[in-house]
Structures are given as structure tokens and as C-alpha cells.
Structure 1
Amino acid sequence: MDWKEFEVEILNSVKRAIQDLLEEQPSEHFYAFALYTDSSAMTVALAANSIEALELKLQEEDEEERDECRPYYQWATSEWKYEGWRSDFFRKASAELRESVFRNDIEAFRKNLYSAMTSVLGELRRSDFFHGFVLKNPTLFVSVTDDDTAELVENHSARLLNASNDYVDFIKRYEG
């Protein structure tokens, strides 16, 4: 699999998806974007969340449980309002992952996929893609939806993609 070519394809899909999200929700303050896959590395998708969406989600909880739920709702992509945003933009890339002949070494395949997703988010950061956003410095990371290594993958990618002070805050996200 040509991972550089795959990165270009994903980069274009991510840009289109985020631009579409901003057009639909121009006044929301997006604090985080993540690319994620599953433990079998068969898909790639975008997740995003805004401060407004997080607060609405928290309002659904009992008042005494909100503080306890906040870190999970804030950082677990499965709880984000815009999880899987414009998944149709990622169909071709996900098909390429599923059909790749390089899947026989799944560990190496996963590492290449995580690296590609991290590179894409890094390119967005370096290109100043987020400059026009209401919140100009969103946290970026890569995740895995159904794997015990998700937090390790998230922390590693967040270290590479975010300013050091933002990274320090991110790795403490689930500490009380």
C-alpha cells in the first residue's frame, strides 16, 4: 500500500469534511478533532466536538454527575456529537484499508495507519488550516474505537500534534 498516496487522499477528505462541518455549524467553538479507526484497521473516520455540543451533552446528565462525566464526554470520540462526520468522504479510503494485501502483518499495518493519520493531522496543523476557526488551536489526536491501546495511541499522537502545554493537559484528561 502506498501510504503517502493514502495520506493525500485522507488529507483531502478531512479538509472537505471539516469545511463542511464549519459551513453547517459556523458559530460553534470546536475544541478537538480526531481521526480514528477500529482495532482491525479497516476504516478511517473523522470525529469532532465543540464546546457547545459538550455542554448540551452534559446538560442531559444529573447535575451531581456532570463533573464526573465531563472528562469522558469531552475526550471519548464515541461521545462526540460529530463522530463519523461525513463518513461518505472516507468510503474509498476505508475500502482500500479493507482490501489491502498488506494486512497479513496487522501490527505493521496498524502502525502505518496510525502514522498516516497522525501525519494528516500534523499537516493540517502546520498549514495553519485552523486559522479561520472560532477556536484557533483545537486539540488533535488519533484514536482507536475498540482497542485497549486506544489511550496509548491517543497520547502518542497528541504529543506529536499539539503544543507541549496542550499535550500535558491532554494526558491528564481522565485524572479527577
Structure 2
Amino acid sequence: MDFEILKGQIENAAKKAFLEMYEKHGTEGICSFALYSDEGAMTVCPATNTLEMLETVDEDDILYYKYEPAEWAYEMEGAHHEFEEICTRLRAALDENEEDDQWFGDFQAQLYSTCIEVLEKLKDENFFTQITGKDIFVTFTVSDYEFQNEDLEKIIIRLNDNEYKNEYLEWMATWH
């Protein structure tokens, strides 16, 4: 698989998804955007969260709902066709190489790093800030998979130059 082409497709899909979500739900106070995949590296999907959704959460659980994309207001919404094409390409590549564990490990790592690179590029271009007029929390995650804490910390630092980074890192320190 040509990951440079895939990277461009993921970037275009992420931009389109965020713009669609802002158009539909901007009045709800969009505060977060993520790309996520699965442990089998078969999917890339967007997730978006809003301040309005966070207002419905119990104060004791606020950080979890604020920073865990699986709990966000909008999962797998935005740029549906584009993300579906990406997932179809991923599954085709996986089907071609299903017996090769070494290939899979490399493929999975490259997919995850490509998603993080796309989000970092959008952050560095101020894509999200230009649309919302404020900082938002940006992350990459994998469903049913836990990154090592040091890897997760690197992702958060890489994708956030804002107050969200500090709050997330402080929250991480309480996980022991």
C-alpha cells in the first residue's frame, strides 16, 4: 500500500469530516476531534465532541468523557463516503497479506503513525483553530487497544499545544 496516497486520503477525509461536523454541530461548541482505528488496522474513522455533550456528564467523570473518543457525541460521523473508501483499501491490503504477521505489524504501525501525522499536519496548519476560532483537543486512538502510557503521552504532546495538553497530562498522572 502506498502510504503517501493513503495519507492524502486521510487528510482530505479528516478535513471534510471536521467541516461537516462544524456545519451541523458548531453551535454545540465543538471542542475535540480524533481519528481512530482498530487493533486489526481495518478502519480509520473520525470522532468529534462538543461542550454541550460535556454539560450532561457527571462532574466526577468529566475528564474521561472529555478525553475518551469512544464516549464522544459524534463517532463515525462526517465524510462517510471518504472514510468508507479508506477502510475498503485497508481491508483489501489486509486480505492480500493475511498470513504474514511481520507484514501486519509493520502495516499496523504505519497506519497508526500516518493518522497521527495527518492530525499533526492539520494542527500545525491551524486547520481546527481557523474554523472554530479556538483551540480544540486533538488525538488519535485505537478501539479495544491501550497504548503504553509513554506512547499516549507522546501523542497528546505532539497533537496539542494548548491547555488541553496540560489537563490531559495531569489526568494521566492520576491513573496509577
TM-score, scaled relative to structure 1: 0.84
Q: What are the equivalent positions in structure 2 for 1:8-157 lying under 5 Å apart?
A: 8-56=8-56, 58=57, 66-86=58-78, 87-100=80-93, 101=96, 104=100, 105-149=103-147, 154-157=152-155
Please say if residues 142 and 153 of structure 1, whose CA atoms lie closer than 8 Å, have aligned partners that are also in contact: no
CA deviation map 1:76-97 (0-9, x unaligned) = 1111111111243301111111
Gaps of 5+ in 2: none
Report percent identity of matched pairs. 27
CA distance in 2, matches of 1:22, 1:95: 26
- Secondary structure of 1:131's counterpart equals helix
**Structure 2 residue aligned with 1:63:** none
Please say if residues 35 and 141 of structure 2, whose CA atoms lie closer than 8 Å, have aligned partners that are also in contact: yes
**Runs of 4+, deviation exceeding 4 Å:** 150-153
CA distance in 2, matches of 1:153, 1:33: 19
RMSD of aligned C-alpha atoms? Answer: 2.2
Please say if residues 17 and 85 of structure 1, whose CA atoms lie closer than 8 Å, have aligned partners that are also in contact: yes
Please say if residues 35 and 45 of structure 2, whose CA atoms lie closer than 8 Å, have aligned partners that are also in contact: yes
- Secondary structure of 1:148's counterpart equals coil
Residue-pair matches, total:
168
TM-score, scaled relative to structure 2: 0.84
Please say if residues 141 and 154 of structure 1, whose CA atoms lie closer than 8 Å, have aligned partners that are also in contact: no
Read off the aligned partner of 1:3 and give its amino acid letter.
F
CA distance in 2, matches of 1:90, 1:78: 17
CA distance in 1, matches of 2:145, 2:26: 33
- Secondary structure of 2:76's counterpart equals coil
